Structure formats: structure tokens, C-alpha cells
Structure 1
Amino acid sequence: MDYLEGFLIGPVWTDTDYETRRHTAVHFFVAALVGIYYIFLQIFPDRQKLIDSIPWPYSLVIFISLMLITPLIACFYYRIPIYVRPLILCLYVFKFLMGFWLLLQLTLPLYVLKTEGLQEYIFEEVNKNIETAINWFNFLGYLFSMVLGIIAGGLWLVLRFVLIMLIVIAIPLAVFIIIKLLQYGLDSVVARFFSKNKQVY
């Protein structure tokens, strides 16, 4: 519970050791889930209707509202009864979800994957890459050029796949970090404001 509070509410408000530990793996994991879901929606475009259930610009309004409201709620989080706190944490989860929701709404229309003939396209790309790699090693003779071409072509395909996955993960990861930084900034401003008011009174 302490970790979840630190991760969602942030280090400004929580009294845990969340801030002193690295949490890179969790951020990568969340970003990877978003990236995988993006690929899923590209492969199965019929499922993109779910994204339209909260259409633009309502999703943006909801996200901005949550970004502004949650720091105020966080001020009183530890005064709230324990049985109510999970609902507050769910609100934070929904806020991050809306951030990724916006990302998907903005990025999905930028590239439309043609699923028709996708399998044939993949096989064609594999054959083309291997054939090109084999031609690189023609000077070694038929047998060696064939073996090295298959290996080099396969490695190039794997490298391309890894690069695509890194890009797909890097974008939601960057958005995640930006949201966390914005939250930290807003939390700091609100915390400073409330601390000044306490000093006055």
C-alpha cells in the first residue's frame, strides 16, 4: 500500500521511502503495456471503438481536471479514512489512464496498419531482407553467402523489430514521465501554498 501510494500520489505528499528508491522497471512495464495495446489496436482496428467511448476533447478536459484536482485531494489524503483511500488511488489510476488514453487518441490516426495481406507482407519483407543479405556475400560463394545471408538477414529483421518496439515503448514512457513531472510540479506548488497558510495561522 505504501509503495502504491508513493507511486500514484507522488513523493511530495507520501511519507514513505518511495522517493529514495529507483522505480525504472515499473515505468518501463507500464509503458510497455501501453505500447503493446497500441500494437493490438493497430492489428485489430475494430477494437479502436473503445477509445472513442470518451471522445476528444472530453478526454482532454477530464485529464486536465484530474491533474488540477488531485493535488488538492492529496493535501488531505492522510486525513481521509483508510477505507476511502483506495477510491482516491483509483482516481489517480484513472488520471494516468486518461493520459495514455489521450496519447492513443492522438497517435492512432497518424499511422494506419493495413491488416489485409499483412501475413504476405511480412513474408515478403523476410525474403527480401534475406535475399539482400545473401547478395552482400556473393563473393564468398554460394554456400557461404547463403549461410551468412540468412544469419545477417535474420539479425537485421530482429534489430528492426527491436527498434520498432523501443520506439513504441519510448513514446508512452516519455508521456508517463511528463505526467509525473507535471504532477510533481503542481503538488509542490499546492504544498508550498498550504504550508504558507499554516504558518500564517
Structure 2
Amino acid sequence: LSVFKNKKILFVLFYACIFQIVLGCYGSFLGLVVTDMGYDNATIGRLMCVSALSEIPVLLCIGYISRKIRIEYLLLIAGAAMTVRIWLPLTGSIAGIFIGQSLQGVTYMIMYYSCVMFMNQNLSKELHGTGQSLFYMVQTGLACTFSNIAGGWLGGKIGLLKTYFLYGLVLLAVTALCAFVLRSHFHKDIAKQKETDFL
């Protein structure tokens, strides 16, 4: 309950949940999209390989990057990149999908690392484990379950590509909303700091 009282944590959990719903839908049904385009399992295997390899440079550099760029901005970058990633299959080009898979590090790894670091920065030490467990439950439990059920249902109704487009729109809107909220929050913090300095 003490974790839920932290509005910043709730904000990030909400954003991470929406992000993971979109990522889960993308990953779960990408194989079907590729086979519908006429490609075989070998192509899907290569796509998965590109996805895994793209995480390595991000893992090596994320510590340095997080010292140069605020965690909040990294979260927004991951959301914007995921919007691009889920829309690339709409091009109908396998090259576009390969490019999308190369964004795995920029999307999933940055989101995961940034959320973990944000939890640690905004919770006391005794609540770190609780915060991480809650994040894991939201990301891999609630979000993944919803993304597969809703994505499968929508895919059957309107088609997978239209579902990808719709999910991308939702993530883009949420990312833009989060950017607006963060900007307003930072401006308030600056105003309070100026007022404090003046007094």
C-alpha cells in the first residue's frame, strides 16, 4: 500500500503496462505476420536472432546512457521507438520487420532498465523488493495476459496489421500524454526551486 501511495511509481507502472501490452502483442503475433507474408520458419529464426543481438550494445552502454539522459526521457524514447517498431510491419517489407527487430534493445531493454532504476530511486531500500515484484507482476503478468487475449481477439476481428496499427496509435497517444505530464511536472519543480532560492 505504501508503494501505491507514490504517484510517480503509479505513473511509471501505468506507462510500463501500456508499453508491455503493445510489445507483447507485437512479439506474440509477429510469426503469424511473417508467415502470412509468405516467409518460412527460417526467416522467423533470423528475426529472433536479430532481436536478441540488438540487446547486447544496449546492455553494454545503458549505464553510461542513463547517467547522461534522465530516466524519464529514456522511458519516452523507448515508447516512441516501440511505436515505430510495431508500425514497421505495415510497410509489407521483410526489411522493415528486420529493422523493427533491431529495435529490441532500444525498446524493451531501455524500458526494463529504466523502470527498475526508477523504482530504486523513488522507493526506500526496504521497499525495493516490493517495487520490483510489483513491476514484474504488471509487466509479465497483467500486461502480457491482456496483450495476448485482446491482441488475438482483435487480430481475428480486424486482422493483425490493423491491430498493430491500433496498438501503435494507443502507445503514441499515451507516450505523448506522459511527455506532457512530465514536462508540466518539471516546470513545477523548477518554479518551486526558484521560489525556494528567492526566499
Question: What TM-score, normalized by structure 2, do the two folds share?
Answer: 0.34
Question: What TM-score, normalized by structure 1, do the two folds share?
Answer: 0.33
- Is the helix fraction higher in 1 or 2? 2
Who wins on radius of gyration, i.e. which is larger? 1
